Amino acid sequence: MIFLLVMGSLVENYINDEFKPFDTIVTLVVTVLFNSQWKYGMEVFGAFASRDVLLAVMVVTFLWIVFKGQDRKIELSFLFFLVIGGELYEEGIRRLFHSLHPVHAPLASHALYSFPSEQTLTAFVIFGFCAYLFVRHSHKARLQAVAFFLFMIVLFLIGLSRVYFNEQYPSDVAAGYAFGGVWLSLNVLVMELFRFSRRFSKLRNESN
What gap in Å lies between CA 98 and CA 116, rounded to an integer? 10
Per-residue pLDDT for 125 more than 90? yes
pLDDT tens digits along 66-109:
887 677 888 888 899 999 988 888 888 887 777 766 555 455 44
Could you read off the pLDDT of 129-152 as tens digits, one per residue? Answer: 988 988 888 778 888 888 888 889
The pLDDT of residue 133 = 87
Q: What is the pLDDT of residue 144?
A: 81
> What does the pLDDT read at residue 1?
61
| Averaged pLDDT for residues 44-64 | 90
Could you report the per-residue pLDDT of 155-198, keeping only the tens digit for each? 999 999 999 998 888 988 988 898 898 899 999 999 888 888 87
The answer to whether 84 touches 98, Cβ cutoff 8 Å, is: no
Q: Alpha helix locations (H) across the chain?
A: 2-15, 20-33, 39-47, 51-68, 72-99, 118-137, 141-164, 170-207
From CA 68, how far away is CA 162, in angstroms rounded?
34
In terms of Cβ atoms closer than 10 Å to its own Cβ (0-12, 13-18, 19+), residue 158 is buried
Alpha-carbon gap, residue 66 to 70, rounded angstroms: 9
Q: Can you tell me the mean pLDDT for 27-38? A: 89
Q: Is the pLDDT of residue 110 over 50?
A: no
**Among 36-45, 54-63, 88-97, which stretch is predicted with the lowest mean pLDDT?**
88-97
Which candidate, 100, 139, 132, places its Cα nearest to that of 116?
100
pLDDT of residue 160: 92
